[in-house]
Amino acid sequence: MSYLSIDHLEKSFGANRVVKDFSLAVEKGEFVSLLGPSGCGKTTVLRMVAGFESPTAGRIVIDGQDVTGLRANARNIGMMFQAYALFPNLTVAENVGFGLKVKGVPRAEREARVTEMLRLIGLPDFGARYPFQLSGGQQQRVALARALAPRPRVLLLDEPLSALDAKVRVSLRNEIRMIQRELGITTIFVTHDQEEAMSISDRIVVMNGGVADQVGTPFDIYNRPTTRFVAQFVGTLNTFDVTVRDAAAGQVDLAGQTLTLPEALQVSTPVIALRPEALHLGRVPGAEALLPARIDEVHFMGSVIRLRATMAGTRVSLDTFNRPDQPPPSPGTDVEISFSGRDAIVLRQ
């Protein structure tokens, strides 16, 4: 049996069904992200696991215990919010030890645990400071330490990085993942940022309209989306209408080029998609198609350069690695773009 089981969970607010028959099995020590747009139900699922919302139907089991009817303070769950939610009148050490004090943990044990937590988050000498004396990233580290101090069975993270600037977000998300692995704590992370979810998760649940559209590893979610919504929500897609040549063999025609797809076709008018990295400037070994194109835009993104071009009457995005000795083509340049059907995703209508 899984360490955390969410079985057929539903939540309605009046006539509005926010979560619809949601089920998820999480193993002990696993890091699972709930990913989706605003209003898809991901935070509501998290709040039901935490005990802040009561489900309309379904149940939640943690380590063999049915906690569906338990109050939040009886579930032994750590929660880290989007807002830092630190007590401004308490020191860092007092904030971290607050939950332990509420539980009646003896002072000596409490102080030892606080010292351990401050070391874990890289702020061993900050115990006497107050929240206003810390940066946003440091405050969120303290919030994490406070959530972890009582040794919760499950850690819940509700978009904890959204208030931070980009560089701090990347650094802190990596630290959160490192600490989670070190402690081996079962974690559910809510985010609308696909890059965050892809970079730190063991598995991702892509939510849409209150249901789980797909559950899988970051590799599978990105490379093998099972629904059109997942394919379009996660990453960038170039889509093309194609004509079926041989459905059983997965062969289609695109602008006079024949492509062999990685699967047989089940639809008569398929749409295929190619990620930007599946398109290449010029002919590359193994490419099935080579089409003329014109560069429209060039976006320098550091190690990657994203080109926008018009190919076969369609605007496409193409990613190429930055090479200091080889500048990218300028807007207005005529080029050739190659690709292969084996890299295509078949989008079901």
DSSP 67-125: -TTS-GGGS-EEEE-SS----TTS-HHHHHTHHHHHTT--HHHHHHHHHHHHHHTT-TT
pTM score of the predicted model: 0.90
Check whether residue 242 and residue 160 sit in a common domain: no
- pLDDT band at residue 330 under the 50/70/90 scheme: very high
Average pLDDT over residues 127-155: 94
User: What's the confidence (pLDDT) of residue 223?
Assistant: 92
pLDDT, averaged across the chain: 93
Of 200, 233, 266, the position where a domain reaches its end is 233
Cα 15 to Cα 51, 71, 148, 193, distances in angstroms = 22, 25, 37, 29
Check whether residue 202 and residue 298 sit in a common domain: no
Of 233, 259, 283, the position where a domain reaches its end is 233
Judged by average pLDDT, the poorest of 52-56, 170-174, 203-207 is: 170-174
State pLDDT tens for residues 210-260: 999 999 999 999 999 988 899 999 989 999 989 999 999 999 999 999 999
Average pLDDT over residues 259-283: 89
Check whether residue 228 and residue 285 sit in a common domain: no
Check whether residue 25 and residue 59 sit in a common domain: yes
Check whether residue 244 and residue 195 sit in a common domain: no
- pLDDT(35) > 70: yes
Check whether residue 36 and residue 108 sit in a common domain: yes
Q: How many domains does the chain have?
A: 2
Check whether residue 51 and residue 177 sit in a common domain: yes
Check whether residue 165 and residue 17 sit in a common domain: yes
Of 197, 212, 233, the position where a domain reaches its end is 233
Per-residue exposure over 311-345, b if at least 16 CB sit within 10 Å of its own CB, e if not: bbeeebbbbbeeeeeeebbeeeeebebbbbbebbb
Check whether residue 188 and residue 270 sit in a common domain: no
| CA dihedral of residues 264, 267, 271, 272 (deg, nearest 10) | -10
Give the CATH number, domain containing residue 44. Answer: 3.40.50.300
State pLDDT tens for residues 82-95: 887 899 999 999 99
Place of tokens 């590359």: 284
User: What's the confidence (pLDDT) of residue 349?
Assistant: 53
Check whether residue 210 and residue 322 sit in a common domain: no
Check whether residue 282 and residue 333 sit in a common domain: yes
Alpha-carbon span 161 to 81, nearest angstrom: 9
Task: For residue 164, count other CB atoms closer than 10 A to its CB.
Answer: 18
Give the CATH number, domain containing residue 313. Answer: 2.40.50.140
User: What's the confidence (pLDDT) of residue 83?
Assistant: 82
Alpha-carbon span 41 to 32, nearest angstrom: 15
Residue whose C-alpha is closest to residue 148's, from 57, 79, 61: 79
Check whether residue 100 and residue 160 sit in a common domain: yes
Q: Please give the residue range of the domain that contains residue 142.
A: 4-233
